[in-house]
Structure 1
Amino acid sequence: MTKAGDDVEDIEIHLLLEALFRRYHYDFRHYAPASIKRRLKQARQQLGFHSFSALQDAVLHDAAMVPRLLNYLTVQVSEMFRDPGYFRAIREKVVPHLRTYPSLKVWIAGCSSGEELHSFAILFREEGLLDRTLFYATDINPGALEIAASGVYALDRIKAFTENHQMSGGKSSLSDYYTAAYGRAVFDKTLRSRVVFSDHSLVTDAVFAEAQLISCRNVLIYFDRPLQDRAVGLFRDSLVRKGFLGLGSKENLRFSGHACAFTEFVREEKIYQRREP
């Protein structure tokens, strides 16, 4: 495509994202440009539109198109106990501090289809903390939240989940937590008995709870720098003093305007602790 063609595409993308925000209040305008362009190209091709302008017209006039588009714009690639070293560090180094609280609130931000939520619920049950913990599982994609709330995953994914669970220091068999039938694994509903599933945007929404632990992994990498700062500011304001923040393996607070509010707690696993105010 020519440079002029690229310029036209960029204008179309800008207008499409603006339309999505104005019409439906989903704000992707400050996501990393290269990432959002790549996802929109995939959406345009898969949904059968010849241009971003045609996709914009469909989005503006057909609300049913929005959840289909969101499935391309939101990241839904995850697995249980992903990056087992992270969960081992939570278990061995963070949990001893969490035990000192009579009750706990944990925010899983950008929970997608719930693999990380179930990982934490299983870990907390194994550590005897589940019954005193309230989990907030948030995402901007209603379809992903529905999957998370159902706790149903394809059976062919369980082998990888099981290996991760073992490497993370699991104290039981993952099979203790699900039943298998018809090619699906259905996870025990009691794992979700103390979970609040909620639509929440790190782009536009405010702090809604005080938490001892926030896990938001592999979300900030899709934001531009000002939006990353906004999200980290929300986490700072949500955490109790000496509360914990876990980020993804490719994320850090090094260049954040809020870095001074945190100390590195487990550097290699990107786990931070809120400083004293």
Structure 2
Amino acid sequence: MIEDIELEMLINVVYEYYGFDFGSYSKASLKRRVDRVYHLDGFRNFHDFLAKVRSDAEYYKRMVEEITVNVTEMFRDPLFYSVLRKEILPILGTKPFIRIWHAGCATGEEVYSIAILLKEANLLHKSLIYATDINELVLNSAKKGVFPLRMMKQYSENYLVSEGKEDFSTYYTANYGIAKFNEELSEKMVFSQHNLVSDSSFNEFDLILCRNVLIYFDKDLQERALQLFDDSLPKLGFLVLGAKETIKYSELKSKYVQFEKEKIWRKMK
């Protein structure tokens, strides 16, 4: 595995040449991901790897894409979606228009899951989902709404556990080993590149989801991201984090109450 001092050298080079700061990412996680790319691309020594990152902007983009991609699936943690379906959407449904931000959306499986929930609650027509990620490659994939057909069995099972009542296959068209999800869902989505490290708030949202992203950040960067979400939420808005993430140790905790047993908080101040 690469050395700690080599990781620091990479962080400094990336910041100096491209203005992107990996310095606040969890070092252990970042080290594992960089090491994976380093060996995947067959480098013999770290000097060659660093020189490639420094001199080849296209390779730099590939490296960032590889180390920032998050594993996801449709209706991941089905019980969370059940709470969202039964407890949160009826509250949001009282609003004339619903804005949702899915930060760190990766390849989009969870974005389409939210859209399906909205459709079944008869709220999709008055909703807009902003789906953002730092990784341009996965965003381009998410926009297409195309996923491997072999995953549909698992996704359908997740959907049913989340208390979905429809035939899951009605939401996509199967063809040549892929599942293409209906445009009725994707036309209510806006995909855009956004960096939680350096970019600012760009709208006000009724619901913000950022699941299993903050675990890759150190405490300072987690606090910065939470402040960004707070700036983007009105009073009584909802914030959703991943199973291993919390705002309990944040300076913002007094402004929120936890909703149910899932990682859902409501802004009260």
Shorter chain as denominator, the TM-score bin is over 0.9
Equivalent position amino acid for 1:271 in 2: I
CA deviations on 1:220-267 (whole Å, 9 max, x unpaired) are: 11100000000011111101110001111111111112111211112x
Structure 2 residue 20 is matched with structure 1 residue 43: no
Partner of 2:175: 181
Q: Does 1:205 align with 2:199?
A: yes
Higher mean displacement: 14-23 or 240-249: 14-23
Q: Confirm or deny that 1:259 pairs with 2:262.
A: no
Quote the offset at 1:75 in angstroms. Answer: 3.2
Unaligned regions of 5+ residues in structure 2, if any? none
Where in structure 1 do 4 or more consecutive aligned residues deviate above 3 Å? none
- Answer yes or no: is 1:127 the counterpart of 2:121: yes
Percent identity among equivalent residues? 44
The C-alpha deviation readout for 1:117-162, integer Å capped at 9, x for no partner, is 0000011011011111111100000000001000111111111110
Shift in CA distance, 174/24, structure 1 to aligned 2, threshold 3 Å? farther
Q: What residue identity is the alignment partner of 1:132?
A: K
Q: Residue 272 in 1 paired to residue 251 in 2?
A: no
Offset at residue 20 of structure 1 (A):
1.8
Task: Note if 1:143 corresponds to 2:137.
Answer: yes
For residue 23 of structure 1, report the CA deviation from its aligned partner.
Answer: 2.4
C-alpha distance in structure 2 between counterparts of 1:81 and 1:173, whole Å:
15
- Maintained 8 Å contact 1:211/1:243: yes
RMSD over equivalenced CA pairs, Å: 1.3
Asked whether the 8 Å contact 1:155–1:183 carries over to 2, the reply is yes
For the residues of structure 1 that align with 2:250 and 2:45, how far apart are their CA atoms?
36
**Which residue of 156, 167, 179 corresponds with 2:150?**
156
Q: Distance in 2 between matches of 1:27 and 1:158?
A: 37
Question: Structure 1 counterpart of 2:45, which letter?
Answer: S
Q: Count matched residues.
A: 269
Structure 1 residue 93 corresponds to structure 2 residue 99: no
- CA separation in 1, counterparts of 2:62 and 2:216? 19
Match of 1:72 in 2: 66
SS of the counterpart of 2:130? strand
List runs of 5+ in structure 1 lacking aligned partners: none
Post-superposition CA distance 1:172-223 (Å, at most 9, x none) = 1210110111111111122111211111011111001100000100001110
C-alpha distance in 1 between matches for 2:129 and 2:203:
11
Normalising by structure 2, what TM-score?
Answer: 0.96
Counterparts of 2:75 and 2:208, CA distance in 1? 16
Shift of 1:43: 0.7
Give the Cα separation in 2 of the matches to 1:200 and 1:52: 29
Please identify, of 147-156 and 189-198, the stretch whose mean Cα deviation from structure 2 is larger.
189-198
Of residues 2, 8, 15 in structure 1, which corresponds to 2:9? 15
Give the counterpart letter for 1:216 in structure 2.
C
How much has 1:49 moved relative to structure 2? 1.3
Q: TM-score, normalised by structure 1?
A: 0.94
Aligned to 1:235: 229
Give yes or no for contact 1:36–1:73 (8 Å, CA) kept in 2. Answer: yes
Structure 2: which amino acid aligns with 1:228?
Q
User: Which AA in structure 2 matches 1:146?
Assistant: N
